[in-house]
Amino acid sequence: MGKTRISSNVNPQVEYPNIKILLHEHLVRLPYLPGIIYSKKTLSYLFYLIAWPCIISGTAQYLLLAILKRFANLTFYTIDPTLFLGSTGFWLLITCFLWSIIASVIRYFFQQSINQPNLQHWIFPLTVLENRDINDKHLRTIIKFTYAKVKFVLYAVACAAFSFYIPILIGLPAQYLPWTLFNAVNTAFHGYICTAWEFNFIFLLGFYLYYCGLRYSKLTSSFRRQLISQSVYHTENPQFNLTPYYDEGLRRFTQKIIKLAKEIDKAENFWYRVNNTVFMGTFLAETLLLYLTFFANTEGAILCCCIFLGLLTIFYGQSINFIPGIYLQHKFDEAVNDTKKWINHSSYLARLRALTVLDYLTERHLFVVFWCVDTTTWNYLKVQAEVAMLLLLLISNSRR
């Protein structure tokens, strides 16, 4: 592999120990972020090395088992987590196959970002997770919640994946136990990897979109307070000329709006690849899990796992990338509308500059899915309606 190309955004004097731990737990190596270095003599480095080959082999395994179950009616007792599900197990294997494909593709995007500086900008705004010198109590709480959430889901999904083998471990003869137990642990590791690379990074995307929306909200509130304060002062002192202050305030405000919009645009070079992949894969997986939960012959531990994984898929794949995006777009539009509202209070030259900025910002969509689906409430409802229609098609086809 060639020498790593580093984005100019890097400050080599700063290290991020909390983010280093977070990335280690998620089996991700980003040499373009200072302090994120794996020692080759640690267990975490071994897991990092085997994770991608493991998920690729798992992808092939689930596809092969699905084909054999569907067309050859063959069963492999020790490696098939759907052993007691009959024909329904085919759909669960296809779901596992989809998750594995998504994880493998996202792992490729991480590797791609190492040699392409334009794909490295996404990580730098997330250094706010280091939680240094943050005075905003609300933001500190959100950061703590983010750490707790991603760590919990990592191990919860691994346990859920392992539990698919519980009926098999109980029901098979003792001579199959060692190999079956090995495959149960291997499947749990697959679940851990899929959670790390797709679910949790989409959650980090949701955090980033919300964080940007929060920044726009604070910009707008600060701008309003400044203008209101100046207006009150002008009311008390009519002879005071406010125009230069309006001009300067408007100039700074529009500069900050554009600066944040450009940051989002740079980060989106990486995020739209990840989000599009997860969105499409979980769109299909969500439908299959709904079918397995409500219309298939599943029960006990496997039914509980399907419910948990279904809710997780709906939340991560179809919600967490939309709802914070809706919030961000709303706060961005508020900032643009405030610029329009106060533009008439400025001088002619400042108004001309602001109109040029507004031409760039007006009706701009900061975050989209598949380059065309805007993150709006209406589009979110349409996505859920399409899932329902796909589920109905699946049900009608399965009953033929």
**C-beta separation of 316 from 282 below 8 A:** yes
Return the top range by mean pLDDT from 1-15, 75-89, 298-312.
298-312
Give the ranges where the chain is alpha helix by DSSP (H).
Answer: 17-25, 43-67, 89-115, 137-163, 166-171, 177-194, 200-236, 243-294, 300-318, 323-342, 348-361, 377-398
The residue count of the chain comes to 400
CB 203 within 8 A of CB 320: yes
User: pLDDT-based confidence at 364, cuts 50/70/90?
Assistant: confident
- Phi and psi torsions of 373, nearest 5°: -90, 105
> What pLDDT is stored for residue 77 in this prediction?
61
Q: State the pLDDT at residue 354.
A: 76
Is the separation of the CB atoms in 36 and 26 below 8 Å?
no
pLDDT of residue 75: 59
Residue pLDDT, tens place only, 36-53 = 666 777 788 888 889 999
pLDDT digits (tens, 9 = 90+) for 103-137: 999 999 999 998 898 999 999 899 898 877 787 88
For residue 270, which of 45, 2, 7, 16 has the smallest C-alpha distance?
7
Of these ranges, 21-30, 83-92, 312-321, the one predicted with the greatest mean pLDDT is 21-30
What local confidence, expressed as pLDDT, does residue 216 receive?
Answer: 93
| Ranges of each domain in the chain | 121-398
- All residues at 6 or more sequence positions from 378 whose CB lies less than 8 Å from its CB, including other chains: none
- Flag the least confident range among 107-116, 264-273, 384-393: 384-393
% of the chain beyond a pLDDT of 70: 86
Stretch 271-288: mean pLDDT: 86
Q: What is the pLDDT of residues 176-207, one digit of tens each?
A: 788 888 888 999 999 999 999 988 999 999 99
Average pLDDT over residues 366-395: 70
Residues contacting residue 340 through CB under 8 Å, at least 6 positions apart:
358
- pLDDT of 1: 43
Average pLDDT over residues 3-20: 64
So what's the pLDDT on residue 97? Answer: 92
* Averaged pLDDT score across all residues of the chain: 81
pTM of the predicted model as reported, rounded to 2 decimal places? 0.86
